């Protein structure tokens, strides 16, 4: 009889696992049907999500409540759906410049509001009640900044509760006595999975609840969910998952929420090659979070060994936007071989709705233990200073007929202008613009300088680096967002 019961349990477990796998594949394949298309950019604001929230108020299956207010008076809204006894609480954008999961939350809500996946949704919503707080720091989101209007990091406000946003988060967690909590963030795109060239597209943490990093049932359940989600991500972004250090931070919400009895799962959205607006990462959030919710509803996570959590590679920070390897660099008439690591930093426009890039050399020398989203082996190439083109153009419009790539091949990386745009810092063509009579500073590759130079082989300029973007002058291929205007 015991043998029969054991076989029966194995059969049920395998059946549930198969159902979850099918569900994961189906929601991934049909994602575009549920994507909240009004949210296409990362720099979303409070006003952008209000139409989506208002639409849910007309749906009887959803409960929409104002649960607090930011310092500047923006409503904090909780969206709830389901009737199950297990409460799952998901909050996003505690940091105003970390919106990827906010986008995914509205995609998830769209699926839940649809007429599709009826059986799977009944399975979830009869066993689980979901609670979404999609934008905890709307004042920070308004300016696309990490901190709130008080200038504090809400994620370090779990003890003093100085901010109304932190007070709201604590109050909602306590009122729900949530069983599971998904703490949704973005991290630097320069994190990689340890000892690999793969970006940490998604990173996880089951935060410690004390300095000893003890593992009780609450934390163990968070670890199991993370192991489950890691398996989902591996299917679509193999090797691109990292694990945060679990050093205890007594002021942090994740650590305290774990201590308060909610299984806290930190999810950080990092980088993905050629996904500047993080739309592919948004999709991975959508799929992995929905799959995890399904696993919670089915209690599928319970038999996952927590030892698998430690097998997830640690987060490291050894990625560059562009890594140039083994380039020849002449200094004081002597040739040296160096690697150059380049990052392109985002600078927001005046109303924080878009950005331009400013490239910087971040490191140089032996970078053999570092990686790049784009890596170019420059062995046999010499780094050469770019020049200012002698002709002076009256305005940017007068350059419309220029073949910029031919100028780059001839060694020119700057154009002179009689009149430069007054309120513009970025140039759309792959060549910098300077004021008439502008004098270039002495050319030297150093950390902190703007990476603009040519890569020359056999006295022919084959590649240009403009503002940190690599341009193949043979094929004219580049992913340049902008050059710069020097005034």
Residues 310 and 380 occupy one common structural domain: no
pLDDT at 20: 79
* Same-domain status, 264 and 389: no
Instruction: Phi first, then psi: give them for residue 311, nearest 5 degrees.
Output: -85, -10
- Mean pLDDT throughout 359-369? 98
Q: What is the DSSP letter of 31?
A: G
Q: Check pLDDT > 50 for residue 124.
A: yes
What pLDDT was estimated at residue 12?
Answer: 37
Q: Is residue 136 domain-shared with residue 262, that is, in the same domain?
A: yes
C-beta atoms surrounding 145 within 10 Å: 17
- Tally of domains in the chain: 2
pLDDT at 17: 59
Average pLDDT over residues 206-226: 98
Query: 272 and 223 in one domain?
Result: yes
The DSSP call for residue 449 is S
pLDDT digits (tens, 9 = 90+) for 385-420: 999 999 999 999 999 889 999 999 999 999 999 999
- Are both 205 and 340 inside the same structural domain? no
Q: Let me know if residue 8 belongs to a domain.
A: no
Question: Does some domain include residue 7?
Answer: no
First-last CA distance in the chain = 84
Q: What is the pLDDT of residue 21?
A: 86
**239 and 388 in one domain?**
no
Looking at the structure, tell me whether residues 310 and 450 fall in a common domain: no
Give residue for tokens 């002597």: 334
Residue 416 CA neighbour count, 13 Å, CB half: 12
Q: Are residues 201 and 112 in the same domain?
A: yes
In a domain, 2, yes or no: no
Asked if pLDDT for residue 13 goes beyond 80, the answer is no
Confidence at residue 477, expressed as pLDDT on a 0 to 100 scale: 86
The reply to whether 257 falls in a domain is yes
Residue 9 belongs to some domain of the structure = no
Domain boundaries, position 476: 319-486
Last residue of a domain, one of 316, 334, 350: 316
Domain end position, chosen among 316, 339, 362: 316
331 and 304, same structural domain? no
Residues 162 and 209 occupy one common structural domain: yes
Q: State whether 384 and 400 are in the same domain.
A: yes
We report the CATH number of the domain holding residue 183 as 3.40.630.10
* Residue 209 predicted with pLDDT over 70: yes
pLDDT higher than threshold 60 for residue 470: yes
Q: Is there a contact between 455 and 464 (Cβ–Cβ < 8 Å)?
A: yes
- Asked if residue 305 belongs to a domain, the reply is yes
Q: What is the CATH number of the domain that holds 415?
A: 2.30.40.10
Residue 11 has pLDDT above 70, yes or no: no
Among 282, 316, 350, identify where a domain stops: 316
Tens of pLDDT, residues 332-355: 999 999 999 999 999 999 999 999
Is residue 238 in some structural domain?
A: yes
Nearest to 347 by CA among 145, 191, 150: 145
**pLDDT tens digit sequence for 223-237:** 999 999 999 999 999
Q: Is the pLDDT of residue 126 over 90?
A: yes
Least confident interval from 11-15, 55-59, 162-166, 207-211: 11-15
Residue 418 maps to a domain: yes
pTM of the predicted model, to two decimals?
0.94
Residue 63 and residue 22 share a domain: yes
């Amino acid at each position: 009889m015991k043998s029969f019961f054991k076989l029966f349990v194995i059969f049920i477990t395998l059946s549930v696992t198969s159902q979850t796998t099918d569900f994961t594949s189906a929601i991934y394949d049909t994602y575009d049907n549920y994507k909240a298309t009004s949210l296409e950019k990362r720099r979303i604001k409070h006003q952008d999500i209000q139409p989506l929230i208002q639409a849910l108020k007309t749906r009887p299956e959803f409960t929409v409540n104002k649960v607090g207010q930011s310092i500047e008076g923006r409503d904090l809204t909780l969206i709830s759906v389901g009737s199950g006894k297990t409460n799952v609480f998901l909050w996003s954008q505690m940091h105003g410049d970390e919106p990827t999961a906010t986008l995914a939350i509205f995609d998830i809500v769209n699926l839940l509001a649809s007429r599709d996946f009826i059986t799977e949704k009944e399975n979830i919503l009869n066993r689980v009640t979901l609670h979404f707080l999609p934008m905890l720091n709307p004042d920070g989101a308004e300016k696309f900044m990490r901190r709130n209007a008080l200038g504090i990091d809400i994620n370090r406000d779990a003890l003093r509760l100085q901010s109304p946003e932190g007070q709201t988060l604590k109050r909602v967690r306590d009122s729900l006595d949530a069983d599971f909590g998904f703490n949704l963030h973005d991290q630097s795109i320069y994190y990689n999975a340890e000892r690999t060239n793969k970006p940490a597209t998604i990173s996880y943490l089951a935060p410690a609840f004390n300095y000893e990093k003890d593992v009780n049932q609450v934390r163990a359940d968070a670890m199991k969910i993370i192991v489950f989600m890691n398996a989902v991500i591996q299917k679509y972004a193999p090797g691109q998952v990292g694990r945060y250090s679990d050093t205890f931070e007594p002021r942090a919400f994740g650590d305290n929420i774990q201590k308060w009895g909610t299984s806290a799962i930190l999810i950080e959205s990092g980088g993905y090659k050629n996904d500047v607006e993080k739309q592919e990462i948004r999709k991975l959030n959508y799929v992995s979070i929905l799959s995890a919710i399904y696993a919670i509803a089915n209690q599928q996570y319970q038999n996952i060994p927590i030892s698998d959590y430690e097998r997830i590679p640690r987060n490291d920070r050894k990625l560059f936007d562009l890594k140039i390897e083994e380039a020849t660099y002449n200094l004081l008439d002597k040739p040296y071989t160096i690697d150059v690591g380049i990052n392109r930093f985002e600078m927001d426009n005046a109303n924080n709705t878009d950005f331009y890039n400013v490239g910087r050399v971040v490191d140089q020398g032996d970078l053999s233990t570092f990686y790049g989203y784009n890596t170019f082996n420059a062995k046999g190439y010499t780094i050469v200073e770019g020049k200012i083109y002698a002709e002076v153009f009256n305005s940017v419009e007068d350059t419309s007929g220029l073949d910029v790539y031919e100028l780059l091949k001839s060694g020119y990386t700057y154009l002179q202008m009689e009149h430069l745009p007054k309120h513009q810092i970025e140039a759309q063509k792959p060549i910098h613009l300077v004021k008439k009579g502008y004098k270039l500073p002495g050319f030297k590759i150093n950390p902190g300088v703007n990476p603009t130079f040519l890569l020359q082989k056999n006295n022919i300029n084959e590649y240009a680096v403009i503002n940190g973007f690599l341009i193949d002058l043979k094929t004219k291929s580049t992913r340049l967002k902008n050059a710069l205007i020097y005034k």
